[in-house]
Chain A
Amino acid sequence: MATRKKLSLGKTVFKIFCWFYAAISVYPVIWLLFYSFKNNSEIFVTNPFGFPTILHVENYVKAWSQYDVPMYFLNSIIVSVVTVILTITFALLFSYATARMRFKGRYLITIFLSLGMFIPVQAILIPVAKTVNGLGLDSTRWGLILVYTAINLSFATLVYYGALKALPVELEEAACIDGANIVTCFLKIIVPLVTPATATLVIYIFLSAWNEFILANVLVVKDELKTLPLGILFLQGAFTTDWGAMGATMVIASLPTILLYIIFSKKVEGAMTIGGAVKG
């Protein structure tokens, strides 16, 4: 009986601990949402912790109309979407060739591309900036997009290679006998069959491109090409005193990824962790 009581006490403490950390994990985010609707006096003095007493929607209006947030938002969308499209296309084409086609050197190029797994982006920061500059891409969005594509390729080709190896060859054989050429076969049969892998990759690549900071910080030189992570940093420097509108800016920047997560939570967790699992 005594041990039972001890056990249930332990269980209660354990439960409280789980919920306590959950609060530490999520409350800062909620606090951000709260203060994005408050004015300075409420943030600092009257009501620092709780739900805003008056919803200062004008913080959002201000962030959107005065702080160039739409421009950063658009840049982030363009960069992330184009990165996703390019990476997916290049990776699937490449993996199809290495998984199915017969040619000399296919092992060599597969290994070559998978080298990217062992190279942290931090390490290539300096030469990549020089390369982008040398190619004359430093005042376009292409510099950032091509570098993001390149660093995601190793992982994406690996995922597609696995997915393709798991597919039976018979469907393609049938198409071949029916007289389809390799391009038709690729578009009509392969692309639809690898949809689950594509979904995982779209989520993973989109999230990493949307949130990426280190490369963007050295590759984007023009103010009007800045993505949201850079924009937020710039605005923070310029408008340090306006906490409410800064909060609104950060909420706007986080909204797409948070919504994506809330709607597809299990898919997002799966996509993010498969990324880490393969990279590790």
Chain B
Amino acid sequence: MKKFYSNKLAIFFFTLPALLVFSVMVFYPIIQVFVKSFYDWNGLGSGTFIGFENYQKLFRDTVFKLSNKNALIFSVFITIFQITLASVFALAVSDQKTKGRNILRVSYFIPVVLSVTVVCQLWLAILNADSGLLNQLFKALGLNYQQNWLSDRNHAIYVIAFVNAWQWMGYQFALMLAGIKAIPIDYYEAAKIDGASNFQAHTKVTIPLLKETYKICLTISLTGGVKAFTEMFIMTKGGPGNATYTLTYLMYKAAFREYRYGYGMAAASILVLQCIAIILVINWLFRDKEKKEVA
């Protein structure tokens, strides 16, 4: 048996393909991000080493500040929107007594399986200033609320965040539904026998037991702002002006439109650091306090 499992040739050929593809297409690139962020590089040749200059420029860049502000707005908006609605709907659908649970479930989840390009095009059509569904709806209802939804500097980022939240709410909903189903039914029944109402049973039993699920949901939606790109790319091109720039969009523009690859890499490395910081903070907030007491 030992011989069977220590066949050197087999080990080599079993691990090689995955290691090779991963090293070339993910590991090498991420190393490049950090290395080249210290270079003045236009994408050709190897560039010149300039130390922290790209980072200094980035931190002085007003668009970078705006991107961070937008990421914060975007993250907070989608987090509140998705987690609140997903919790409520997951509780409703997990209740056996709710009528039409399957229709509700499918309705909430269906935008998740659509391509983000389709979703963006679809919402462009809905939000279209002249003939979009939303303005037509207001007209049909006799409300004077028609407007050009994506052309307002201050509101465009919220509209974009809404489109993202609309598409991915169902994802968090499904995560929570799976989390609720994993809770033993006895816990819930015990609470009911002790005289808890539905609402109390959920707030005191279900939600605290969903800690791990909430951790995952928060990580996904809070890093969503830093990573947001496609909605901006398709729906607003970062505009009006720079009003809907995000870090990823800034990075994309710097590298692929202005050929400032080194600067783009600096933005990319900040992107990685922000994502890791968010993950660490969430893990710290959700750390197991009881375990610590025992230790």
- Among B175, B217, B268, point to the contact of A125 (Cβ < 8 A): B268
Contacts A28-B126, A270-B178: A257 and B114 contacting too (C-beta < 8 A)?
yes
Q: How far is the CB of B237 from chain A (nearest CB, A)?
A: 12
Contact with B along A246-270 (1 / 0, CB 8 A): 1000100110011011100100111
Tell whether B281 is near chain A: CB-to-CB under 8 Å.
no
Tell whether B200 is near chain A: CB-to-CB under 8 Å.
no
Tell whether B248 is near chain A: CB-to-CB under 8 Å.
yes
Tell whether A273 is near chain B: CB-to-CB under 8 Å.
yes
In the bound complex, residues from chain B placing their C-beta under 8 Å from that of A232 are 115, 117-118, 121
- Among B21, B113, B230, point to the contact of A214 (Cβ < 8 A): B230
- Among A94, A100, A268, point to the contact of B18 (Cβ < 8 A): A94
Q: How far is the CB of A160 from chain B (nearest CB, A)?
A: 10
Contacts A102-B6, A122-B227: A131 and B25 contacting too (C-beta < 8 A)?
yes
A122 touching B248, Cβ below 8 Å: yes
**Interface window among A57-65, A193-201, A205-213:** A205-213
Contacts A22-B104, A102-B6, A176-B1: A109 and B19 contacting too (C-beta < 8 A)?
yes
- Among B25, B89, B111, point to the contact of A18 (Cβ < 8 A): B89
- Among A123, A253, A280, point to the contact of B268 (Cβ < 8 A): A123
In the bound complex, residues from chain A placing their C-beta under 8 Å from that of B160 are none
B21 touching A90, Cβ below 8 Å: yes
Contact with B along A135-151 (1 / 0, CB 8 A): 10000000000110111
Tell whether B251 is near chain A: CB-to-CB under 8 Å.
yes
A127 touching B117, Cβ below 8 Å: no
In the bound complex, residues from chain A placing their C-beta under 8 Å from that of B112 are 272
Q: Name B's interface SS.
A: helix
**Interface window among B51-59, B60-68, B147-155, B163-171:** B163-171
B220 touching A276, Cβ below 8 Å: yes
The range of chain B's interface size is 35 or more
Minimum CB distance partner of A274 in chain B: B178
B17 touching A273, Cβ below 8 Å: no
Contact with B along A3-29 (1 / 0, CB 8 A): 000000000001101110111111011
B109 touching A269, Cβ below 8 Å: yes
Offer 8 A-B interface pairs, CB within 8 angstroms, sorted by A: A28-B122, A94-B18, A101-B7, A151-B25, A182-B10, A213-B115, A254-B118, A258-B113
Report B's interface with A, CB cutoff 8 A: 1-2, 4-8, 10-11, 13-15, 17-19, 21-22, 24-30, 32-33, 36, 43, 85, 88-89, 92, 98, 100, 103-118, 121-123, 125-126, 131, 133, 136-137, 140, 166, 169-171, 174-175, 177-178, 215-217, 219-220, 223, 226-227, 229-230, 233-234, 248, 251-252, 255-256, 261, 264-265, 268-269, 271-272, 275-276, 279
